[in-house]
Amino acid sequence: MHKTKTIFLSLLIAAIFSSCIFFRPSAETLTNRALKAHKQYDAIIVPGVPFNEPTWDATMQMRVLWGNHLYKQGKTRKIIMSGSSVYSPYIEAQIMKLYAIALGIPEEDIIIEDRAEHSTENIWYSYKLAKKLGLEKLALATDPFQTRMTYSFGKKRLKDLQYLPVLFDTLVKLPHDSLHINYKPYKIQNFIPITERQSFWHRMKGTWGLNIKFKE
């Protein structure tokens, strides 16, 4: 099975950014903590990435493949795909669900959170949805760079959330075959991207989690 050039490039860039030279704790440390806390999670949260047809980009591929790996390894019972239609006319969570199904994950084990427009919202809304569904043991499963960017937010707001970031040594060994999904029925008509709906400062507040109504 071949590995695409795009995923290799993405891994290379992400590995540089997520190097232990820049970030603490490391992906390995967070993973060890998470697996020590729980052998299996009720659900993992996989944040979305804009989908630009006709196929997923390297970042979405990386996150979905990692979620699939954790599921197939028995590290989680459910996967929460999180993300609204933000920069492109497709609900990110829904597109990732289609790819996850194509990878062999049962549809009933995939949960959609389609409200989030920023990384902090991916975590917060997914966490609250999971709790509402009775899922207690939760972990964020994304690339180390995004993990680190949201780590302080998670530790402050969601103290029982664990972290299972992408381990690149493992990821590069996974199959990276191209997958085909029928995305056309999911295209939103008359879509307006977030850059036209919100000012720059409003979007920055969203990035920092300041648009979340925590008492809602």
pLDDT tens digits, one per residue of 69-98: 999 999 999 999 999 999 999 999 999 999
- The domains found in the chain, sorted by start residue, are 36-207 (3.40.50.620)
Average pLDDT, the chain: 90
pLDDT digit string (tens) for 3-34?
Answer: 454 554 555 555 545 444 456 789 999 999 99
What's the DSSP call for residue 47?
E
What is the band of 216 on the pLDDT scale with cuts at 50, 70, 90?
confident
| Cα gap 91→206, rounded to integer Å | 18
**Model pLDDT, residue 190:** 96
| Residue 18: C-alpha distances to residues 14, 145, 156, 174, 182 (Å) | 6, 5, 21, 20, 33
Burial of 158 (0-12, 13-18, 19+ CB in 10 A): middle
**Model pLDDT, residue 140:** 98
**Does a cis peptide bond (omega within 30 degrees of 0) precede residue 54?**
yes
Amino acid letter, residue 11 = L
| Residue 135: C-alpha distances to residues 23, 114, 157, 179, 202 (Å) | 30, 18, 17, 30, 32
Sequence-separated (6 or more) residues with CB below 8 Å from residue 20: 26
Percent of the chain with pLDDT over 70: 89
**Model pLDDT, residue 188:** 95
Which tokens hold the place of 213? Answer: 């109504």
| Cα gap 68→26, rounded to integer Å | 22
* 76-82 and 41-47 beta bridge pairing: parallel
